[in-house]
Structure 1
């Protein structure tokens, strides 16, 4: 059976985007209201979560480097680390460390998984 990707490339393009509008050209990211309106999350954590969503787009995971996140947010790597730890502590993301020299794998949780309190 052929992979659908090959077939899609063969199909004639049926939508043409002709716009100088940066939103139309570069897309957008929807941020869930429970994140946007959560008073317990810092604005940096909300922005980082939105960036994770933009990187993942149609997947439930992403793997941007912390340097990339810092550049996109316009803040230091230390600040990004703080925001990531905040999201992880709230159960909004899970981090899989993949080893030296590799980026972490971030799983985005749309259903918040509360961590058990440390004893």
Structure 2
């Protein structure tokens, strides 16, 4: 059996037969947990934090995500130029790696869920 840390919350909820009481159309769409170190990170903007949360939202179901920047912009209520700036911020602080998948395809986004130790050379 897999350890609990390697399993998705949706699988755990199904397994435990948890009933959501009082759920409405808004809450039935689910929730996204964002690590606290992201929420309190002083060297990135609020927009970059929201972009990180949106990428987490997309990735939780599949362990990967590749939304287009237009999709991100629409879902965030932002412009595509702002989205690019937020993604650049996340790359600079090594919370995100953007992998280009080819002409006409959306990028693959790799989110890092751990804090890099000072002096470490990288995560790759």
TM-score normalised by L of structure 1: 0.76
Deviations along 1:10-34, one digit per CA (max 9) or x if unpaired, are xxxx5665732512x1000001000
| Residues 89 and 96 of structure 1: CA distance in aligned 2, closer, same or farther (over 3 Å) | same
Q: Identify unmatched segments of 5+ residues in structure 1.
A: 1-13
Once residues 36 and 19 of structure 2 are traced to their aligned partners in structure 1, the CA distance between those partners, rounded to angstroms, is 31
TM-score normalised by L of structure 2: 0.74
Once residues 111 and 34 of structure 1 are traced to their aligned partners in structure 2, the CA distance between those partners, rounded to angstroms, is 9
How far is the alpha carbon of 1:67 from its aligned partner? 0.3
| Residues 77 and 51 of structure 1: CA distance in aligned 2, closer, same or farther (over 3 Å) | same
How far is the alpha carbon of 1:49 from its aligned partner? 0.1
Deviations along 1:28-73, one digit per CA (max 9) or x if unpaired, are 0001000000111100000000000000014442101000000011
Once residues 105 and 55 of structure 1 are traced to their aligned partners in structure 2, the CA distance between those partners, rounded to angstroms, is 11
Structure 2 counterpart of 1:10: none
Aligned CA RMSD, in angstroms, stands at 2.7
Structure 2 counterpart of 1:31: 34
Divergent runs of 4+, >3 A: 14-19, 112-116
Mapped pair 1:50 → 2:71: no
